[in-house]
Chain A
Amino acid sequence: GAVVSQHPSWVICKSGTSVKIECRSLDFQATTMFWYRQFPKQSLMLMATSNEGSKATYEQGVEKDKFLINHASLTLSTLTVTSAHPEDSSFYICSALSQGGNEQFFGPGTRLTVL
Chain B
Amino acid sequence: AQSVTQLGSHVSVSEGALVLLRCNYSSSVPPYLFWYVQYPNQGLQLLLKYTSAATLVKGINGFEAEFKKSETSFHLTKPSAHMSDAAEYFCAVSSSNTGKLIFGQGTTLQVKP
- Assess whether A108 is interfacial by the CB under 8 Å rule: yes
Return 6 A-B CB contacts under 8 Å, by A number.
A4-B43, A6-B43, A44-B44, A46-B100, A102-B32, A106-B44
B103 contacts A101, C-beta separation under 8 Å: no
B96 contacts A102, C-beta separation under 8 Å: yes
Tell me what chain B mostly uses at the interface: helix, strand, loop, or mixed: strand
Please pick, from B43, B102, B106, the residue contacting A108 in the complex, using a CB distance under 8 A. Answer: B43
CB distance from A102 to the nearest CB of B (A): 5
Knowing A46-B101, A93-B43, A109-B42 are in contact, say whether A103-B96 is a contact too (CB < 8 A).
Answer: no
Residues of B within 8 A of A (CB): 32, 34, 36, 41-46, 49, 51, 90, 94, 96, 99-106
Q: State the CA gap A97–B46 with chains docked (Å).
A: 13
Chain A interface: which size bin?
20 to 34
The winner among B32, B34, B41 for most chain A CB atoms within 10 A is B41
Q: State the CA gap A106–B38 with chains docked (Å).
A: 11
CB distance from A39 to the nearest CB of B (A): 11
A32 contacts B99, C-beta separation under 8 Å: yes
